[in-house]
A and B are shown apart, each in its own frame.
Chain A
Amino acid sequence: MILVELIYVVSAVFFALSLRWMGEVKTSRRGNFVGAAGMILAVAATVMAVGTQHYQLVVISVVIGGIAGALMALKMPMTAVPQRTAISHAFGALAAALVGTAEFFQNTPNIDKFTIIILLAEVILGYLTFTGSVIAFAKLQEILSGRPIIYPGRRIISTIVFGGAIGLAIYLFFNQGNTLLFVIMSVLALIFGIILVIAIGGADMPTVIAILNSFAGLSAAGLGFVLDNKLLIVAGALDGSSGLILAILMCKAMNRSFANVLFGGFGSVAKSTGDTDSAQKNIKSMEVEEAAPILAYAHSIIVVPGYGMAVAQAQHAVSDLMDALTEKGIKVDFAIHPVAGRMPGHMNVLLAEADVPYEKLKEMDHINHEFKHTDVVIVVGANDIVNPAATENKGSPIYGMPILKAYEAKTVIVIKRSAGGVGFAGIRNELFEYPNTTMVYGDAKEVINKLVQQIKEM
């Protein structure tokens, strides 16, 4: 039906416009609206085209999915955005894989050679993205430990599992009638997703989420090829390229390659340098009462938030601190490292939720030259992203990673839960030993609330 195809074209244009308008805050809500409009058009056109066969089941599925999606969107706390994103990649990839599977069972053994290649690839990618995303979700939700789970023979096992899936796919390309092998291939892909992500640590989640995003998009695009549906190809390609760009940005921000994130693991690198458990030396600490006047008499302050701020739910306290300091005429800015938190943009969302105006949230490249003119830097729950070892110590596992130059400020105050802990992967943080650095130990939220109270009284 030509009308349906035309509506699909309009939808595709809407999707592209949607991303265009997502580019800046001013137009972003319009972008979201246009995206949703494109979706409604596409679904309406499809229903028009295919009619109402099995409509009861369609309605039930849509109602269940709709309610689940709406509940998640409305009830979820903002700190859980990374988990929600991970699980949404799981759903997206599973949908693509299941439709691919259904197509296979429907048409085998009469699927043409080109389509079967895409179908097999799409199904493998979809299933491994599904389980990989579920594991990422479990780690972020702390159902599973955030630490990388490493065991002997990991590489051999994962090579066998993935190689097995690919081998079966090649066999199925020549003998597509064997449905049992298709099922085994799918199961191997599901297992491979688990093996892949379970070995990756929490701090690598920004990259992993972006890669899974890209995979989910690619499997949707693959499904578009299988069904000869151009709208799905366009939407999948847009999603896939978005994930790819975010993944590249995250990798650059950690000075690592895709392969290193997926198969390397920070932990193994750290072990080989022998720098893991060396204790921190010459660390000074002070009480909140001593920190408050340092802040109150500063002219300029930069706050560096990290994942610890999210864990302590301290974003509202941080926002109150900004208000109290601004009231005293002090300039307060926020320095946002690209991989701070557990997904791209995580810190921005949390601080926006706490009413920090977005102009104050500065990207690393824009704020790094300002540290040397800044009186006080407050590090809240961040660690590796301010570790000068990344620029100075060639033996450090994070050497080469771009960092926020917090150490250049006149005074650095680090708010940290306890004295003992080192950052992810147990890398010693040289910033904590600098003469201009002083630690304040305690729960970030409590410490900052106390600071706010005392600053207001001054």
Chain B
Amino acid sequence: MMEMASSVIIINLLVFLLASLLGLELIRHVSRLLHTPLMSLTNAISSVAVVAGLIVMAHAESLLIVLLAAIAIACATTNAIGGFMITERILKMFKREEKK
């Protein structure tokens, strides 16, 4: 990773800003009922950081880096698996009124 081309930086900034705007727009329309599962869902989604752990692990040149990446992968996997499972568990509880 020597000089990163400035075009790459600009594209990444653009991606970040557009994704943030999209996120703000999408989240604004989420019912308040669902704010708790929304939090567990977005948390699970951002645990795609596990990908970063895998990439760094693959290029690791020292034991320290391997260990840091391994802990990161374990943390991110906890969130990924736990996040989607808990979201499903919460969402299953939301029921409509039954006509008796």
Contacts and interface: CB of A to CB of B under 8 A. Distances in A.
A28 B4 CA distance: 40
A345 B12 contact: no
Contact of A72 (B29, B45, B82, B92): B82
A25 to B, nearest CB: 5
Contacts of B90: 78, 81, 349, 352
A23 B26 contact: yes
A241 B23 contact: yes
Contacts of B37: 22, 28, 32, 345, 349
A237 B16 contact: yes
A227 B59 CA distance: 12
Contacts of A68: 74, 78, 82
Contacts of A438: none
B15 A65 contact: no
Interface in B30-53: 30-53
A265 to B, nearest CB: 24
Interface string B66-97: 10111111111111111111111111111111
Contacts of B36: 81, 85, 343-346, 348-349
A246 interface: yes
Interface residues of B, number: 88
* Best-surrounded residue of B41, B71, B91, B96 (most CB of chain A within 10 A): B41
* Best-surrounded residue of B58, B64, B89, B97 (most CB of chain A within 10 A): B58
B62 A360 contact: no
A146 interface: no
A232 B54 CA distance: 13
Contact of B86 (A84, A91, A95): A84
A291 interface: no
B26 to A, nearest CB: 4
B54 A352 contact: no
A13 to B, nearest CB: 11
A416 to B, nearest CB: 25
23 contacts: A19-B38, A28-B37, A31-B41, A36-B84, A46-B54, A68-B78, A70-B81, A84-B82, A88-B79, A89-B43, A95-B71, A95-B72, A102-B60, A224-B12, A228-B8, A233-B15, A238-B19, A241-B20, A241-B21, A246-B38, A349-B36, A352-B90, A353-B93
